[in-house]
Structure 1
Amino acid sequence: MDKVCAVFGGSRGIGRAVAQLMAQKGYRLAIIARNLEVAKAAAGELGGDHLAFSCDVAKERDVQNTFEEMEKNLGRVNFLVNAAGINRDSLLVRTKTEDMISQLHTNLLGSMLTCKVALKTMIQQQRGSIVNVGSIIGLKGNSGQSVYSAGKGGLVGFSRALAKEVARKKIRVNVVAPVTVTGICLH
């Protein structure tokens, strides 16, 4: 069976680093970002037959369409990485409601939507892996990042609960919470 990995947010940052590692491990990759040209550039740098897709993870129809296209062009996704995320630092009293909503939709709802669609295939296959990229900020909090912290903290609870839901189907769900210090990601 093919090893197919979808990396949402795979065009930059942690998602891009994960995509590079998965390519080295022999996975066929779908690099997904809002900006298709940026995703194509990231996929092209990996060599091989990796593909790029454009998707707004906060929109359920976009997510469904993207999975349909991935399956048609790469095969069934059996490894999902959710690294898509946005951060708009601001004290809560200064944060616009639309900024709160967009952060929560991308950072939490987006991962829920991608997991929901991916699980349909993974359950049929009786196997799969999901890695959701959180943040230490979701566990510890940080001044000026209350909304970001709420979304990433919610992702931790979501991932833990989902892992219990699908464990009997031989599907693993994990969340990682990286720490960034002066631009260097520590694990």
Structure 2
Amino acid sequence: MTMQQRKGMTMELKGKTIIITGASSGIGASAALLFASEGANLVLGARRAAELNQLTGQITQSNGRAVCLAGDVTDEAYAHRLVDLARSEYGRLDGAFNNAGMMGEIGPVAEMSAANWTEVITTNLTSAFFSAKAQIPALVEQGGVLVFTSSFVGVDNGGMPGMGAYAASKAGLVGLVRSLAADHAAEGIRVNALLPGGTRTAMAGDDPDTHDFIAGLHPMKRMGEPKEIAQAALFLMSDRASFVTGTAMSVDGGISARLL
């Protein structure tokens, strides 16, 4: 069903202005297409300008509403520029899906470079701090929703070998989410995290043997698709989740149940 065909139907995010980071591919791009089909006004962010422009054009050509701004989420000023763009283009900000992240090098911590540790923590955790710092003042005006992409790795007993920096960053992100939720619930701001399982994105590579191994870790015996994670983000962003805040929601094909 196209966005044009959706006109006149009940839309979960109709008229809501939402920032999506990491929007150039994978979960972020799937969320952008889904949120646009549900009536959202989108501000799309990622490092790759060409991919962002292509996705924005795809949405607008289908009668959706989207603008984009390329940049690096590890730059605090970029977080503010995305909020400024939301306000200048649509007059307000109602929420953000802070999805950008990276895996970094795989290997034991004792052999890990300090540069890799710093890059992963900065990209996955410090950027979330920058995003929240920029977005919350805009949400206080009328309330809103923040959703962050964490991971089962490092959370819910989901320890995985060779992923110390990634696990630390994603576990820290859940802690930040819960603190933000407690701080801002009375202001009408909901804050939640998603814990995806292995998902078929560029981060998972393209080696079929690796995909088979990852799939085998899940009780459902398959990897998730980006749209499936985006559907969960849509739920948390929508009014259907109006009494949900401070949670880390597993969308992982049962892998956390197996690891517990």
If the length of structure 1 is used for normalisation, what is the TM-score? Answer: 0.93
Task: Give the distance between the partners of 2:43 and 2:57, measured in 1 at CA.
Answer: 11
Residue 108 (structure 1) aligned with residue 121 (structure 2): no
Q: Deviations over 1:58-86 (max 9, x none)?
A: 11122222321232123322110011001
Residue 52 (structure 1) aligned with residue 68 (structure 2): yes
Give the letter for the 2:96 counterpart.
L
How far does residue 16 in structure 1 lie from its aligned partner after superposition?
1.4
Q: Quick check: 127-136 or 173-182, which moved more?
A: 173-182
Structure 1, gaps ≥5 residues long: none
SS of structure 2 residue aligned to 1:51: strand
Give the letter for the 1:28 counterpart.
N
Q: Check whether the contact 2:150–2:196 (CA below 8 A) recurs between aligned residues.
A: yes
Q: Which residues in structure 2 correspond to 1:119-130 (within 5 Å)?
A: 119-125=136-142, 127-130=143-146
Structure 2, gaps ≥5 residues long: 1-13, 199-213, 216-222, 229-250, 252-260
- Pairwise CA RMSD: 1.6
Q: Deviations over 1:28-50 (max 9, x none)?
A: 11110012221111222223231
SS of structure 2 residue aligned to 1:136: coil
If the length of structure 2 is used for normalisation, what is the TM-score? Answer: 0.68
Give the letter for the 1:72 counterpart.
S
Residue 88 (structure 1) aligned with residue 104 (structure 2): yes
Q: Which residues in structure 2 correspond to 1:141-160 (within 5 Å)?
A: 141-160=159-178
Task: Give the distance between the partners of 1:159 and 1:69, measured in 2 at CA.
Answer: 24
Q: Deviations over 1:142-161 (max 9, x none)?
A: 11111000000000111011
Task: Give the distance between the partners of 2:54 and 2:154, measured in 1 at CA.
Answer: 30
Residue 16 (structure 1) aligned with residue 33 (structure 2): no
- The match for 2:220 is none
How far does residue 93 in structure 1 lie from its aligned partner after superposition?
2.3
How far does residue 15 in structure 1 lie from its aligned partner after superposition?
1.3
- Count of aligned positions: 186
Q: Quick one: which of 104, 111, 131 aligns to 2:147?
A: 131
Task: Give the distance between the partners of 2:112 and 2:88, measured in 1 at CA.
Answer: 41
How far does residue 184 in structure 1 lie from its aligned partner after superposition?
2.4
Q: Quick check: 12-21 or 100-109, which moved more?
A: 12-21
Structure showing the higher strand proportion among its residues: 1
Question: Among the aligned pairs, what percent are the same residue?
Answer: 27
Task: Give the distance between the partners of 1:61 and 1:79, measured in 2 at CA.
Answer: 18
Task: Give the distance between the partners of 1:64 and 1:31, measured in 2 at CA.
Answer: 13
Q: Quick one: which of 37, 41, 44 aligns to 1:28?
A: 41
- The match for 2:8 is none
